[in-house]
Structure 1
């Protein structure tokens, strides 16, 4: 039996598209750096091979593209399904991003993420579930679950500068703005065979949350920067 046949099975779902995500990243980085001063801090911390669950705070609409393009390895990020409409949706599909229903159980998204991880790839998760102040006030369980199923380490990222203070939910920073992406120390997680208890997932979630809060504090101190604060009143991402 292959890992894809372990519960939950991932042999019946397609692997997200890979060719544009892999081949287009150098050109995309060149284009973005003509507009923004993007700095990736500590890229050497990112595992060079094997599965990885990449977790990050979420402050701006460009965080997902920045993760996919500037992480040291290609990342298939779980992305809210509302964005998979029209041309943007086709582009997200071509770049291997995984549509996610944030408001109900989404077994298809979970199985697609597991397929990527079981084949040694990286999956991106924003545990806050939505854009906001980026201070990790909330922390959902998806990252813990994916890492427990596969034994993939959790690799924290901290985004700083991808939304200006007071900027609205869909705002982007002005030209030449500095954007820091700080790679944290990977957090090893042991694989847990089926069945996995909710209490174990919750305990790992709490541990990851605390570790990421510490990493967030360290990243802000290292860069000498601050987060943008909450979205303007009445706005939700």
Structure 2
């Protein structure tokens, strides 16, 4: 199984990140009052820039793990990723070990963050991968659509840092639970649940952009698209 860092280390890294981000940038957090304070929950967020996971970690009222591409577990970022409690996932193919580790986290009543677009881009959620849908269905975990804004502007590279004092926002929507009308391990059931997540998240991102006045980037960086996949157990 994919190793998982301790929840204590994830909490400590979050406390270290918070003052750094708030001293360099101007983050706003909205919707915290709607979030469950205990029990398993999956935050599904759009993906714009390099700071998305760090910003979401700081904005969350409780420590969380993040499904992260395995490239983050290579030097020089590997130690940071492990301490932060990230779960390594192969983004090129359904990763059984990562799904088992994420399931373990949710069964323990912890919080998990997933960026279902699978890569940084314009954050409009035009297409997604289905890991979040699979996990939500098989563990009966509520999903929280989460809008991240301001971490990348038009023309910026996906691995670039925003300018100092840039405005950013994390806006949480109300949690919802997916309902299925069939075997949750069937590919078509997972795909339908994934489309529900995509629509809910895309709509929420649009509303959050209007509410905060923070526009999404107008460009789509030239990064190879991650294939839309379903967990390999799905039939």
Distance 1:95 1:223, change over 3 A: same
8 Å contact kept, 1:168–1:235: no
8 Å contact kept, 2:126–2:202: no
RMSD of the alignment, in Å?
2.0
8 Å contact kept, 2:4–2:87: no
Superposed displacement of residue 236, structure 1 = 5.2
State the aligned residue count: 225
Other structure's SS at 2:77 match: helix
Partner of 1:227: 216
Partner of 2:228: none
Other structure's SS at 1:86 match: coil
Query: What stretches of structure 1 of length at least 5 have no aligned partner?
Result: 1-11
Query: What stretches of structure 2 of length at least 5 have no aligned partner?
Result: 226-235
8 Å contact kept, 2:89–2:98: yes
Counting only pairs closer than 5 Å after superposition, residues 14-163 of structure 1 correspond to structure 2 as: 14-163=3-152
* CA displacement, residues 1-40 of structure 1 (integer Å, 9 cap, x when unaligned): xxxxxxxxxxx66543222211332332112101001111
1:184 aligns with 2:184: no
Partner of 2:233: none
Other structure's SS at 2:76 match: helix
Counting only pairs closer than 5 Å after superposition, residues 192-203 of structure 1 correspond to structure 2 as: 196-203=185-192
Other structure's SS at 2:11 match: helix
Instruction: Give distance in 1, aligned partners of 2:220 and 2:184.
Output: 39
Instruction: Give distance in 1, aligned partners of 2:148 and 2:207.
Output: 12
* CA displacement, residues 89-143 of structure 1 (integer Å, 9 cap, x when unaligned): 1111111101110111211100000000000011111111100010001111111
TM-score (normalised: structure 2): 0.89
TM-score (normalised: structure 1): 0.88
Other structure's SS at 1:87 match: coil
8 Å contact kept, 1:147–1:191: no
Superposed displacement of residue 83, structure 1 = 1.5
